[in-house]
Amino acid sequence: MTYLDGQSEALAFLDDQLDDCLERLFALLRVPSISTDPKYAPECGRAAQILSDELASLGFRSRVQPTGGHPMVVAHHDGPAPHILFYGHYDVQPVDPVELWRGDPFEPKLEQRGDGSKFINARGASDDKGQLRTFIEACRAWKAVSGALPCRVTIFLEGEEESGSPSLEPFLRAHSDELQADLAVICDTSMWDVATPAITFSLRGNVAGEVRIHGPSRDLHSGLYGGAARNPLQVLAEILASLRDEQGRVTLEDFYDGVRPISAEMKAAWERLAFDGDAYLRDVGLQRPAGEEEFSVLEQIWARPTVEINGVSGGYTGEGFKTVIPSEAIAKVSFRLVGDQDPKRIWSSFERHVRARLPSDCTAMFRERGGSRAILLDSASNEMGAVRAALASEWGAEPAMVGSGGSIPVVNAIRDILGLNAVMVGFALNDDNIHSPNEKYDLRSFHKGARSWVRILSALGAQALPAGAEDLQAV
């Protein structure tokens, strides 16, 4: 048999066994694996152990791997190409203020709405225990019906995602050979809306740092020196003001080198999303897009680079007033990058831009904090086509191909350290209250999420079959 043969059985298995799937999720949700609070460290260890034991029982070579913080779970299962690296995290956010929950955040309940739809109320129901279990349940279903997986799978679960992932990068570096794969998939994101699945396929890169403009050798009295002495706050204001032109374009030399035009296909797809840019801005008290005039809000955020001033300080900023010309003024600045923009070259261009505008009696000191290139998966690749088709057939709707304006640390780490692109597919909804009281995960997200992974694994396995095998699949 080919793996495709088992798909309908695997889907049926998930439908039949939904209660058991839920019970396994509830068991995991009962473990208060709050990573940021050291007193829950044993619970984090317990969650990791539960997951590792389960994966071992499914035939994975699985282990709990200690780190300086909470442990990782790493589990390997053989299978045909491609080799998929799945990432999820078993730790959860704190539950404060606990009095706003309808019940114990670690005693999951299945609740029902007026329309009959159901959801799971518990900390971690959505972020990320419910989501990571959709993948594990899909693997279980495949194993149950076929004794195998449609692809080779490595599962990698982290326990520090909600507390800054301090062990992630060292761990990836130390185990980069073991974690090699053809494609990474991550289940920690949302649907586009309740009817439309989503694939996050592009992330802006970034580079950030600080510029410190130094003028007089000491703070001066603005009465005794004002007018004649160079004021670093004035110099800084002029430099920062010069970073954008009136059309919202960034003025740095060579800034747009490597920025690719948005493809007609993507432009059309994003227009179909009917994203309400005005509402997006209105929600945060704004009225009109501040970016390049010829691009929509979505394009400004997902596909266009920008410069942002993230902080400015200098002079007297306390209560009252002090007539000072400060010796220095500081700005924290970051750039969001797209396409092939190079963080190092962008930062150099910024330094040149500042120095070119510096009066002869001021100096500038820079502290670059590093950055990362943008990530842009090929939306027309075979793998992406497989994932898209699988999601479309499960949900009856073409998945939204979405971008992310910000970096996602794990995606960057996987790309930078393992050299792997990560496709992000998740089934959360925007009203899941992740990080808030009464976090929930729709039963439909959980059930159809698992079904989606059954199809995705199958589709990925099928697209990797040798040419000519397509006829075989249709059998």
- From the list 350, 405, 356, the residue with the least C-alpha distance to 210 is 350
- Token pair listed for 40: 């829950």
**How many residues in the shown chain lie near its own copies by CB under 8 A?**
78
Taking Cα atoms as reference points, which of 338, 26, 403 lies closest to residue 200? Answer: 403
Q: Which of 74, 92, 172, 220 binds its own copies (CB under 8 A)?
A: 220
Per CB under 8 A, does 206 bind its own copies? yes
Angstrom distance (rounded) from CA 28 to CA 51: 8
Sign of CA dihedral 43, 44, 50, 53: negative
**How far is it, in rounded angstroms, from Cα 386 to Cα 301?**
27
In whole angstroms, the minimum distance from the beta carbon of 204 to its own copies comes to 7
Structure tokens that stand for 280 in this block: 């997006």
Residues 381-410 that bind its own copies (CB under 8 A): 404-407
Q: Which two tokens stand for residue 88?
A: 């999820």
Sketch the per residue contact string, 228 through 267, with its own copies: x for CB under 8 A, - otherwise. Answer: xxxx-xx-xxx-xxxxx-----------------------
* CB 200, CB 189: distance < 8 Å: yes
| Strand partners for 184 | 85, 422
Of residues 324 and 465, the one with the C-beta less far from its own copies: 324
Which residue shows structure tokens 């990698």?
A: 156
Considering the complex, what minimum distance in angstroms separates the CB of residue 224 from its own copies?
Answer: 5
Tell me how far apart the terminal alpha carbons of the chain are, to the nearest angstrom: 10
4, 269, 273, 281: residue in contact with its own copies (rule CB under 8 A): 281
What is the Cα–Cα distance from 420 to 423, expressed in whole angstroms?
10
To the nearest whole angstrom, how small is the minimum distance from the Cβ of residue 201 to its own copies?
16
Closest CB to its own copies among residues 31, 233: 233
Whether a cis peptide bond, with omega within 30° of 0, leads into 82 is: yes
CB-nearer residue toward its own copies: 207 or 456: 207
Which among 136-144, 187-195, 275-283, 458-466 is the span making contact with its own copies, rule CB under 8 A? 275-283
Tell me whether residue 45 or residue 216 sits nearer to its own copies (CB atom): 216
CB of 384 to its own copies, least distance (A): 23
User: Is 324 in a helix, a strand, or coil?
Assistant: strand
- Residue linked to tokens 């990791």: 48
- Piece of 11-19, 116-124, 358-366, 438-446 that binds its own copies (CB under 8 A): 358-366
Kindly state the smallest distance separating residue 407's Cβ from its own copies, in Å: 6
Query: Within a 13 Å sphere around the CA of 177, how many CA atoms are in the beta-carbon half?
Result: 0
Contact positions with its own copies (CB under 8 A) in 289-308: 289-292, 297, 300-301, 304-306, 308
Choice between 88 and 314, CB closer to its own copies: 314
- Report how far residue 214's alpha carbon sits from residue 329's, in angstroms, rounded to the nearest whole number: 7
DSSP SS3 for 208 = strand
For residue 303, the 8-state DSSP code is T
Which C-beta is closer to its own copies: that of 228 or that of 274? 228
Which 3-32 positions form the footprint of its own copies (CB under 8 A)? none
- Choosing from 68, 218, 419, 471, the residue that interacts with its own copies (CB under 8 A) is 218
Q: CA 138 to CA 214: how far, in whole Å?
A: 59
Between 196 and 363, name the residue whose CB sits nearer to its own copies: 363
Q: Of 152 and 415, which has the nearer Cβ to its own copies?
A: 415
Which residue lies nearer to its own copies by CB, 256 or 280? Answer: 280
The CB-of-39 to its own copies minimum distance in angstroms stands at 26
Q: Write down the least CB distance from residue 239 to its own copies, Å.
A: 8
Q: Pick the closer one to its own copies by CB: 83 or 353.
A: 353
Residue 11 to residue 439: CA distance in whole angstroms? 27
In the complex, the smallest distance separating the C-beta of residue 143 from its own copies, rounded to whole angstroms, is 38
Instruction: From 257, 244, 235, select the one nearest 355 (Cα to Cα).
Output: 235
What's the Cα-to-Cα distance from 63 to each of 23, 41, 53, 404, rounded to whole Å? Answer: 23, 18, 8, 33
**Binding residues among 110-149 for its own copies as defined by CB under 8 A:** none
**Closest distance to its own copies from the beta carbon of 213 (Å):** 11
Residues 64-103 that bind its own copies (CB under 8 A): none
Among 114, 147, 279, 360, binds its own copies (CB under 8 A): 360
Q: How is residue 339 written in tokens? A: 């396409």
How near is the Cβ of 250 to its own copies at its closest, in Å? 10
Return the sign of the alpha-carbon dihedral for residues 281, 284, 286, 287.
positive
Contact characters 303-342, its own copies, x per CB under 8 A: -xxx-xxxxxxxxxx--xxxxxxx--xx-x-x-x------
